[in-house]
Amino acid sequence: MRPVIYQLFVRHFSNFTEGGVPWGSKEQNGCGTFAGVTDAALESLARMGITHLWLTGVLRHATQTPHETLPANPACVVKGIAGSPYAVTDYFDVDPDLAENPQQRLEEFCALLARCRRWGMLPVIDFIPNHVSRSYESVVQPDFCFGKDDNKGVFFDRDNAFYYLEPQQSDWHMQLPEGEFEPEHGCGRVTGNNAATWAPSAYDWYETVKLNYGTDYRHGAPAAENLPGLLAAPDAVPRTWRLMNKVLAYWQELGVGGFRCDMAHMVPMPFWRWVISNARLRDSGAFFMAEAYNDHMKLCAADVTEALIHCGFSGVYDSAAYNEARAIYEGCIWANDMDRHNRPEPAMFTHGVRYLENHDEPRLASPLYWGGQGSKVARALMVAHYGSSAGPVLVYNGQEFSEQAEGPGGFGGDNGRTSIFDYTCLPRLQRWSNRGLYDGARLSPQERELRDYMARLLPLMQHPALSKGSFYGLNWANGQTPGYGRRANDPASGHRMYAYLRHNRQARSTVLAVCNLDPDYATHTCIHIPENAIEWAAKKDPHCRFINLLQPGTPALECTLQELSGTGLPVTVPAGDALLLEWI
């Protein structure tokens, strides 16, 4: 099964309090709960084609909101009021904000896991291996606290949990942008983004501390060469490895089926090979998805995305394909350039996670990004981006309604993203959730139309041609085709038009995709399919029929093989829309 992942940010998804104010408290702006993600919500997501549910922000993290027996964290180590879900304070606990009864929070979370599985969706949570909150302290498993036996007098030691700054005068405190952090009196630690300083800036991950996996990160990838191998016994690996294996085992036992691994490229590859193999001994179907970037503090000399796939990851962020899609509207990239990310040879074709939104990236419909055209071209982009590979697909909650990050913010500012640091709401999603009914009763016609479109498109990711088929790009063959995405003064076609074939030889299944990436103009053109593509797709019947998979019941398009390789298949595609045609 090709994974279709829905990122469900619990704090936002089931928040039924509308409106709110910037920098608002939980009481003012509301907060979603585990119980609020009801069977009605899950049934609707399952029917939309979702196979994996990434429950985001569930681990207990630093926050300025106090709870009984859990006081608020110091403001200097909390971003926003609600706090960053990636500054974890207890790897074995869940966020009390998300429980109707905070004392029963683990029970409420486990009930949600059971509901997810009942609707056929694998529950996935965040695993944040690179760093923890400066105020980390486990109350669920106090014997498994990071750093309690560390040698704090050295920067690096193989079995230390953290990296310690060189000693300063005895009264020196860690000076953070929001103030001094008293617990690090004379004993400072390196930040999550490798800033080895007593005074990290506001642009550093100052609220977090970096974890040590037995290698001095300052020496880069070569420092990891002497780490233990895949078959190493638990007592032969660095202490942090053993702790993290316990973390994964704990959540697997409670019913979690997979993990989205934050900043996976900043952790040594030998650790991933070891810990993923251990996790799959406990659950052979355990799903691992890596957030990783080749240009960002990686601990790997080679291409880190392919290295992580070799380590056992089911999927790795395809940030290169994402950046190129954005550059069609924000840079000088043409649609023709998308072909280079869809070659079947690299492992990323089958393991690259395709996304147009996630919590780190701006909203597709934000007027601040995508040239302000994202909402107009969402349909065409999804077919062009999701359908052209065989890897996992990721959808962010609210994307199906053209959410624009217009809810109240705070620490994140007005940056085109739904804030992960604040109590906020997604007004368009709330019109669908309708105070917990999840019936879409208050959606606008445009919002309803986009969600219905995605409910037709996402299940098609399991189509034999789209889930396992090879790729054949058609833009090169249509470089001189009139009307094929050519703008004024363009020397060739293919600026805002993208077409490709996907073919599964074993299933004898072929799909033709035609994507009009222009936000304003419909296209009337002919798609030329060269003879070698026809031979590649093993088509011999002289009469061809093309069935519209996204609009069942519409008349089929018909032509002959001779016409396909000659004048081409005549098509009309509205602005920002796409055709997904099964070649019968």
Q: Are 388 and 471 in contact (CB under 8 A)?
A: yes
Q: Are 65 and 25 in contact (CB under 8 A)?
A: yes
Q: Which helix (H) or strand (E) holds 88?
A: strand 88-94
Please work out, in degrees rounded to the nearest 5, the angle formed at the alpha carbon of residue 328 by the alpha carbons of 444 and 407.
35
CATH (residue range 467-583) = 2.60.40.1180
Q: How far apart are CA 498 and CA 484, in angstroms?
A: 9
Give strand ranges (E) for 461-573.
470-473, 497-504, 509-516, 523-527, 543-548, 557-560, 569-573
pLDDT of residue 293: 96
CB atoms within 10 A of CB 574: 14
Q: How far apart are CA 478 and CA 497, in angstroms?
A: 10
Among 490, 557, 496, 507, smallest CA distance to 529 is for 557
Q: Which residue has the tokens 């920098």?
A: 23
Count the alpha carbons within 13 Å of 8 in the hemisphere toward its beta carbon: 33
pLDDT of residue 169: 62
How far, CA to CA in Å, does 278 sit from each of 231, 275, 443?
Answer: 9, 5, 46
Among 521, 525, 575, smallest CA distance to 378 is for 575
DSSP string covering 271-314:
HHHHHHHHHHHH-TT-EEEE---TTSS-S-SS-HHHHHHHHT-S
Domain ranges of the chain: 1-37+318-462, 467-583
In order along its 584 residues, the chain shows pLDDT tens digits of 999 999 999 999 999 999 999 999 999 999 999 999 999 999 999 999 999 999 999 999 999 999 998 999 999 999 999 999 999 999 999 999 999 999 999 999 999 999 999 999 999 999 999 999 999 999 999 988 899 889 999 999 999 999 999 877 667 889 999 999 999 988 999 999 999 999 999 999 999 999 999 999 998 888 888 899 999 998 999 999 999 999 999 999 999 999 999 999 999 999 999 999 999 999 999 999 999 999 889 888 889 999 999 999 999 999 999 999 999 999 999 999 999 888 766 799 999 999 999 999 999 999 999 999 999 999 999 999 999 999 999 999 999 999 999 999 999 889 999 999 999 999 999 999 999 999 999 999 999 999 999 999 999 999 999 999 999 999 999 999 999 998 888 999 999 999 999 999 999 999 999 999 999 999 999 999 999 999 999 999 999 999 999 999 999 999 999 999 999 999 999 999 999 999 99
pLDDT of residue 344: 67
- At residue 378, what are phi and psi to the nearest 5 degrees? -55, -45
CB atoms within 10 A of CB 534: 18
3-state helix, strand, coil in the chain (%, to 5): 30, 20, 50
Q: How far apart are CA 256 and CA 251, in angstroms?
A: 6
Q: How far apart are CA 479 and CA 375, in angstroms?
A: 27
Radius of gyration of the chain (CA): 25
Instruction: Using the Cα atoms of residue 374, residue 375, residue 377 and residue 382 in order, give the sign of their dihedral.
Output: positive
pLDDT of residue 14: 98
pLDDT of residue 148: 87
Give strand ranges (E) for 322-432.
352-355, 393-396
